[in-house]
Amino acid sequence: MFSGKVAEELNDLVKDSGEFLYKINHLATRLGLDLAAHHADHIAVRCHQVATAERWKKGFLQHGVLFSEKMIGGRPVALFELHEPLRVGPWQISMVELPWPGEKVYRHEGWEHVEIVLPGDEAQLSVRALALLSDESLSKPGIAIKNSAPKGEGERLPNPTLAVSDGQVTIKFHPWSLKEIVESELAS
C-alpha cells in the first residue's frame, strides 16, 4: 500500500496491508463486485485504544495533511489527505479515515473498510449499490448488510451509507466523496 519510507507510527498498518488486501478482494469476489469498475474514495482504519489512534494520527501527519477532524457519532473522526496515494488493489487512494475508539469494539486493529462513491440520488443509494452485487451473494452465510446515515457537525449533504461486511472487512457505498461532504460545511 505505502511506497517509500513509512513513519514508524504506522508500522502495524504496513504489516496489516497484505492481509487487508486479501480480505477485501475475497469479500468482493464473494459479492460478485468488480472493484476496478468503481472509484474508491477513501480507506478507513479501526482501533480499540486512544493511544493507538493518537499514534496513527502522528504517523499519518508525516505522510499528509489533516483534512478534517470533527465529532461524528459521539467520537472524533480525523480525515487525512496523503501526499502520495496508497495502492489498494486496483485503486490509488489519497484519503484515510481515522475514527477514535467508540462504544463498538472491533476484533481487529488495522485497516477495516474501503468506501466506494456511487453518485446519484441519495434516496436510491441502496438500490444502486445492491444492483452491483450478485443476487446469490446477498443470501450467503456471514454476509451482513447495514444502512446508516452518519452525520458530522455542519454537514449539509445527506450521507446515506450501505455497508456490506463479512465480519472481517467491509465495503461501503456513499453518494458523495468525503471532500464533497466536508466542503458542504463551508457552503453554509
pLDDT at 151: 59
pLDDT at 141: 87
With respect to residue 188, please indicate whether it lies within any of the assigned structural domains: no
> Is residue 81's pLDDT more than 70?
yes
Say how far apart CA 127 and CA 27 lie, in whole Å.
19
CATH number, domain containing residue 13: 3.10.180.10
Domain span holding position 117: 8-182
> Is residue 184's pLDDT more than 90?
no
With respect to residue 3, please indicate whether it lies within any of the assigned structural domains: no
pLDDT band at 140 (very low <50, low <70, confident <90, very high): confident
Q: In the chain, how many domains are there? A: 1
pLDDT band at 143 (very low <50, low <70, confident <90, very high): very high
Task: Measure the CA dihedral 77/78/79/85, to 10°.
Answer: -120
Segment (H or E) for 111: strand 110-117
Q: CB under 8 Å to 167, separation ≥6 — which residues?
A: 107, 142, 144
Whole-structure pTM value? 0.91
Q: Cell 477532524: give the residue.
A: 69
Say how far apart CA 111 and CA 96 lie, in whole Å.
10
With respect to residue 57, please indicate whether it lies within any of the assigned structural domains: yes
With respect to residue 25, please indicate whether it lies within any of the assigned structural domains: yes
With respect to residue 50, please indicate whether it lies within any of the assigned structural domains: yes
User: Alpha helices of 43-150 — where are they, by DSSP H?
Assistant: 50-61, 125-131
With respect to residue 187, please indicate whether it lies within any of the assigned structural domains: no
Give, in order, the Cα–Cα distances in Å from 110 to each of 107, 149, 157.
Answer: 10, 23, 29
Q: What is the pLDDT of residues 37-62, one digit of tens each?
A: 999 999 999 999 999 999 999 999 99
With respect to residue 1, please indicate whether it lies within any of the assigned structural domains: no
Looking at per-residue pLDDT, the higher value among 33 and 179 belongs to: 33
pLDDT at 26: 95
pLDDT at 36: 94
